[in-house]
């Protein structure tokens, strides 16, 4: 028996999904970090992804200034930081300091990556589309890095404990299964 879901909640059927930490930096020196689970690959050649950011947030104002951001992939070890980066705004607090995250210079963009994360995509915005309360950024990936201990044969291992967001304060981690045929 299926139950009907309110349309405003229908996106929840597409969770759990990976949550990432987006780093952005405006024209000033301040770097901000926010949690984002509305992220998807769009094309592999060229390598393009999309992220959907709330208009009331701070991060999109920084991305609009420079057209650059980094996507940082956290493990479950960063659960607390992911939660705080997703409930506090960089317009009010320096989340990088608060969360004690270490930043490392990127190679292709002027926005750093987060040392503690499992991997990073360095991205440059190609298109920006406003949809309802969100802004969809379509961006080309200029460089991709992954921790070789945890990314093997093109797959994040179980030990990586890549963090997935279910809803609210509930998260999960994936478990690999193989098709036998």
Ligand X SMILES: Cc1cc2nc3c(=O)[nH]c(=O)nc-3n(C[C@H](O)[C@H](O)[C@H](O)COP(=O)(O)O)c2cc1C
Q: What residues are paired with 136 via a beta bridge?
A: 52, 129
127 vs 149, beta carbon nearer ligand X: 127
Stretch that binds ligand X, among 1-9, 85-93, 97-105, 142-150 (CB under 6 A): 85-93
- Shortest Å distance, C-beta 113 to ligand X: 17
Residues 26-45 that bind ligand X (CB under 6 A): 32, 34-38
Residue window 52-71: x/- pattern of binding to ligand X, with contact defined by CB under 6 A: xxx--xxx------------
| CB neighbourhood size of 172 (10 A) | 14
Q: Quote helix, strand, coil % in the chain, to nearest 5.
A: 20, 45, 40
- Shortest Å distance, C-beta 153 to ligand X: 28
91 vs 149, beta carbon nearer ligand X: 91
Asked if residue 73 binds ligand X (CB under 6 A), the reply is no
Q: Would you say 167 and 93 are in contact if contact means Cβ atoms under 8 Å apart? A: no
Q: Would you say 27 and 66 are in contact if contact means Cβ atoms under 8 Å apart? A: yes
Stretch that binds ligand X, among 48-56, 66-74, 103-111, 142-150 (CB under 6 A): 48-56
Asked if residue 89 binds ligand X (CB under 6 A), the reply is yes
- Shortest Å distance, C-beta 63 to ligand X: 10
Q: What residues are paired with 33 via a beta bridge?
A: 23
What is d(CA 98, CA 107) in angstroms, rounded to the nearest whole number? 25
Strand order in the sheet with 47-54: 31-36, 20-25, 68-73, 119-131, 134-146, 47-54, 39-44
Give me the residue label for tokens 């028996």.
1
Asked if residue 81 binds ligand X (CB under 6 A), the reply is no
Report the interface residues with ligand X, using CB under 6 A.
19, 32, 34-38, 52-54, 57-59, 82-83, 86-91, 165
């Amino acid at each position: 028996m299926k139950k009907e879901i309110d349309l405003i909640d229908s996106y929840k059927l597409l969770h759990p999904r990976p949550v990432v930490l987006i780093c952005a930096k405006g024209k000033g020196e301040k770097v901000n970090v926010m949690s984002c689970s509305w992220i998807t690959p769009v094309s592999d050649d060229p390598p393009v992804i999309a992220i959907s950011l709330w208009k009331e947030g701070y991060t999109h104002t920084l991305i609009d200034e420079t057209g650059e951001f980094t996507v940082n992939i956290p493990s479950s070890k960063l659960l607390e930081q992911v939660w705080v980066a997703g409930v506090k705004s960089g317009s009010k607090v320096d989340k990088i300091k608060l969360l004690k995250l270490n930043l490392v210079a990127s190679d292709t963009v002027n926005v750093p990556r987060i040392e503690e994360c499992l991997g990073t995509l360095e991205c440059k915005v190609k298109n920006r589309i406003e949809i309802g309360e969100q802004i969809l950024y379509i961006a080309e990936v200029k460089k991709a890095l992954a921790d070789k201990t945890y990314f093997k044969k093109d797959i994040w291992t179980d030990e990586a404990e890549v963090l997935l967001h279910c809803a609210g304060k509930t998260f999960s981690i994936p478990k690999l299964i193989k098709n036998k045929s």
